[in-house]
A and B are shown apart, each in its own frame.
Chain A
Amino acid sequence: VRCQHYPPLRALQASAVLGRVSDEHKKEPLTSSSQQHFDSHPAGHQPEEEPQGPRPSYTGQGGQESEDYESEEQLQHRILTAALEFVPEHGWTAEAIAEGAKTLGLSVAAAGMFHSDGSELILHFVSECNTKLSELLEKEQKLVQLGKAEKKPVDEFLRDAVEARLRMLIPYIEKWPQALSVLLLPRNIPSSLNLLSSMIDDIWHYAGDQSTDFNWYTRRAVLTGIYNTTELVMMQDSSPDFEDTWRFLHNRVADAMNMSSTASQVQSTGEAVVQGLMGAAVTVSNAETSRALR
């Protein structure tokens, strides 16, 4: 009986390792993440670092299994990342995923692992962009700490961060409206909201937001509003290098800065009004008391 399967270690979580390497596996330069996993159990989730250049191909030879992967989730990540380059042509669809799988040497049927509406592909892309943004902000912060760069004022920081993040959409901008509508499907809303809010959180964190009070919520709400509206403007922008969008962004951030100073003005005015009322009440009660005593 020809029995050519290797007893697999069942991978239930992303941290389990499945070591199944064929004899004829080509010793190509593995991606850095695969190298680590191959030798030891990864502690938990590792950020996917996919090389942006030509991918090592995993085409099989003869009848041997030719992949080397660590768990189902990580393989899925690799497929989705490979699929991104086909999005401009095929959109955020199962077709793009199938093409991506093909470049990894897998059958097109592997796209069946994902939803046919491309949700996972879009969420994967958003998550990757957010990670890239975090890394960018982290690097900038280091430069400031080392004294090699000036600390930006808050409004400039926000503008630059949002612009950097939105620029990542440019290669896919034609199909992005489709992606936005998929992200709004009820099924996807929890994940997409989660990704959005953690990105906004990140930006404020690097902007130096230390607040632990009511301001924390207002700041996030305001920045989310700025980000979403700018994103929508960008979809319809046809100016060279999206300069209209950046101008819009500049204005919205300026508005937000003004609004916050207005808000504190309102607050102090409010306090003043309350104090006035209190004073008036005390005066009136004093007057009553003194009249009663007369």
Chain B
Amino acid sequence: RALAAGPEMHFGFQTVTEAERREKIYQVFESVAKKYDVMNDSMTLGIHRVWKDILMHKMNPSPGTLLLDVAGGTGDIAFRFINYVRSVREHQLQRKLKHHQNLSWQEIFESYQKDKSNSLGDSQVVVCDINREMLKVGKQKAQHLGYSEGLSWVLGNAEELPFDDDKFDVYTIAFGIRNVTRIDLALQEAYRVLKPGGRFLCLEFSHVSNPLLSRLYDLYSFQVIPVLGEVIAGDWKSYQYLVESIRRFPPQEELKAMIEDAGFFKVDYENLNFGIVAIHSGFKL
């Protein structure tokens, strides 16, 4: 794979080489890392939290699931996963206890102890990101919020994941695939590391087809967001890049075709907020 002055690619609305693009994107996230969460909240008026919750609901993970969250940076998906699995596990345990109505107190106590120590039911999430700064912020957040169990942080490139084949039950990439330079490679890697039957989930900005809404959305994107970027994060350029990269990203159907090309089956997408955001799902069958 030649990384030298290679083919022309887009960086927002600019044209750059492949290598330049990777470098520029790395710098973008290096500089926004500390204000990433704040900016997300202010740009989307907090709605990004709902989007991520919907993603988790769609995933509906059962305890024992092994999740790989790529471009997971500051850990939003990972923390939600842990919360979800923990509550499912609690329900499971409650139901088990109800079933065992005729056990002795001793037996109930013992089973309770055993299950309590396994509050996640062996579920695990690996957060993988190419950017050291984003991972740092994520780890700090985890410590701050008290997440320790079932969580690991790995530095890695979505186009060449440092994992073995057939390892994970679910692969997610939330608002990250847009920044990958070779999307097809990332999809192939996703396919590779998923177990048979595993699921690919992608949450990403997408194409708004409604013309009126599209105009409003464009207005908001190009006039408001970079200004917010300057005011809150002191970084106009990065948020200009963000907005432009959304426009350059393939629309729903095209991404669906790319996912199918990587070998996934039952590929489908769900539009959120009229297509501002879309969740694509596929299975490795």
Contact = CB atoms under 8 A, between A and B. Distances in A.
A67 B196 contact: yes
Q: Please classify how large the interface on chain B is, using the bins under 10, 10 to 19, 20 to 34, 35 or more.
A: 20 to 34
A109 B198 contact: yes
A110 B64 CA distance: 13
A110 B197 contact: yes
A33 to B, nearest CB: 17
B1 A1 contact: yes
Interface in A98-122: 98, 101, 104-113, 116
A240 interface: no
Interface string B177-197: 000000001001001101111
A107 B164 contact: no
B262 A109 contact: no
B62 A111 contact: yes
B188 A75 contact: no
Contact of B64 (A94, A105, A108, A116): A108
Given A1-B1, A4-B191, A113-B283, A106 B263 contact: no
A58 B197 CA distance: 12
B199 interface: yes
Contacts of B58: 112
Contacts of B266: 72, 113
B281 interface: yes
Contact of A107 (B165, B191, B198, B265): B198
28 contacts: A1-B185, A5-B191, A6-B263, A10-B260, A60-B166, A63-B164, A63-B165, A63-B166, A65-B196, A66-B196, A69-B285, A72-B265, A72-B285, A95-B62, A107-B195, A107-B196, A107-B197, A107-B199, A109-B59, A109-B170, A109-B198, A110-B197, A110-B198, A110-B283, A111-B60, A111-B62, A113-B283, A116-B60
Interface of B: 1, 58-62, 64-65, 164-166, 169-170, 185, 188, 191-192, 194-199, 260, 262-263, 265-266, 281, 283, 285
